[in-house]
Structure 1
């Protein structure tokens, strides 16, 4: 069985969207193709849309996503709607499509408007001399503060999940990869913990902590210490995993 939930503004595209999904292998242009998900770009009714195909779940998750928990596609659509209601930018949600059987969810797709962006947050990490870097970091901090003030804990707040668009007077930030969020009261600790996946240098932490402290009326030093603590703990955890994997491979080769 196939079902589609479409934003009211795009009801007229339902048949075309279903046709794209039913011929996904041959439709549009591939934007990204990873181990888990594939994103394709299509032109419909004079607009460029992105269709994200999520990896087919295993047998257990197939049952979970049909009967117990919303699919990643459904969560992406619903969370995007919540973000837009809060005035937070994300590629506009068009629809989500699910293909199911009695045994569970088989395929799912999330469709959104395409955003022409200039760079993502990773550019600020890799290039300390990136033009206007300090200003962008401060504005990004304000953007994250807006998330927190709306009780949004974006669990995948990582470098590749914020697209940045340069405007005439400033920069706009768009969240992508939305299926992992919590809507909860954001304590000071949760707020600083939410920065951990961004792979911030000490210089970046200093700039962002000082900006966040102004907005949250906290001590700049306390903000810096806690943001740095969570950032370093996360980086140590990831680097330790990489070393362990490397060690296992080396031992195996021996």
Structure 2
């Protein structure tokens, strides 16, 4: 089953061909353990970004086939919601699901490819030029998301693409969209926790807290202390997971 965004109905043939020949054609962008992303140029102004989700194991085939929306369908629907609320994300184009009597076999999400200048990760890992300005604008982007009740559960360094407008302003685009919650309104703790995965650096958290307090009216001390507490808890969880993996590897020897 192929579902196309209304404004891309005229590209049905090209999209179908790209999906049918996904394994043998296209330019590889990401070869992950779980998912593969390839690029398929359509014309001078549009390149398809196609994400192939890993085939689910048997139980999840049933779950995604009968009880829960697939990751591809959620990505498509969530991108549509984001654009309706004027939150940056690559334009959704299509999604495809292949099923059997058991349930979901495979799925693909197709969106416009964004040629970005950097991701948030560069702000974390390097002394990026104009870094503080970008960081403060990113906080405005996230605040708008929060004000619209959007909780992006994978709000991590690699999932925000950044385009430089070369006039001191930047555009931000969320990717990897299949895990989101939508609220009528977001409480303070949920907002702060939503920013806990974005950087382990206290200096960056302090800048983010300062800007978030300025635009929200929240007390800056409370913003920083809460955001930093959630950040430390998240980083501690990462350390514990790494230590557990090391122990499991040791016992397997």
Aligned-pair distance for 1:103? 1.2
Provide the rounded CA distance (Å) in 2 between the counterparts of 1:53 and 1:251: 34
Provide the rounded CA distance (Å) in 1 between the counterparts of 2:13 and 2:106: 18
Equivalent residues in 2 for 1:1-150 (5 A)? 3-46=1-44, 47-127=46-126, 129-150=127-148
CA-to-partner distance for each residue in 1:7-31, whole Å, 9 max, x for gaps?
1111011122122212211121111
Q: Do the aligned partners of residues 23 and 53 (structure 1) sit closer, same or farther apart at CA in structure 2, a change above 3 Å counting?
A: same
Please give the TM-score of this superposition, normalised by the length of structure 2.
0.96
Provide the rounded CA distance (Å) in 2 between the counterparts of 1:9 and 1:200: 41
Give the gaps of 5 or more residues in structure 1.
none
Aligned-pair distance for 1:64? 1.2
CA-to-partner distance for each residue in 1:44-78, whole Å, 9 max, x for gaps?
24421111000011111111112111100000000
CA-to-partner distance for each residue in 1:133-158, whole Å, 9 max, x for gaps?
11111111111101100000000000
State the number of aligned residues.
250
Aligned residue number for residue 245 of structure 1: 245
Q: Is the 8 A contact 1:77 1:95 kept in 2?
A: yes
CA-atom RMSD in angstroms = 1.2
Q: Is the 8 A contact 2:200 2:235 kept in 1?
A: no
Provide the rounded CA distance (Å) in 2 between the counterparts of 1:83 and 1:252: 45
Moved more, 187-196 or 24-33: 24-33
Provide the rounded CA distance (Å) in 2 between the counterparts of 1:90 and 1:221: 31
CA-to-partner distance for each residue in 1:95-132, whole Å, 9 max, x for gaps?
001111121011100000110101101111111x2111
Provide the rounded CA distance (Å) in 2 between the counterparts of 1:203 and 1:16: 47
Aligned-pair distance for 1:199? 2.5
Q: Is the 8 A contact 1:153 1:182 kept in 2?
A: yes
Structure 2 residue 165 is matched with structure 1 residue 167: yes
Q: Is the 8 A contact 1:199 1:235 kept in 2?
A: no
Report runs of 4+ in structure 1 exceeding 4 Å deviation: none
CA-to-partner distance for each residue in 1:200-224, whole Å, 9 max, x for gaps?
3110011000110112111100000
Q: Do the aligned partners of residues 94 and 204 (structure 1) sit closer, same or farther apart at CA in structure 2, a change above 3 Å counting?
A: same
Provide the rounded CA distance (Å) in 1 between the counterparts of 2:206 and 2:136: 10
Aligned-pair distance for 1:249? 2.8
Provide the rounded CA distance (Å) in 1 between the counterparts of 2:38 and 2:81: 24
Provide the rounded CA distance (Å) in 2 between the counterparts of 1:88 and 1:180: 16
Aligned-pair distance for 1:160? 0.3
Aligned residue number for residue 183 of structure 1: 182
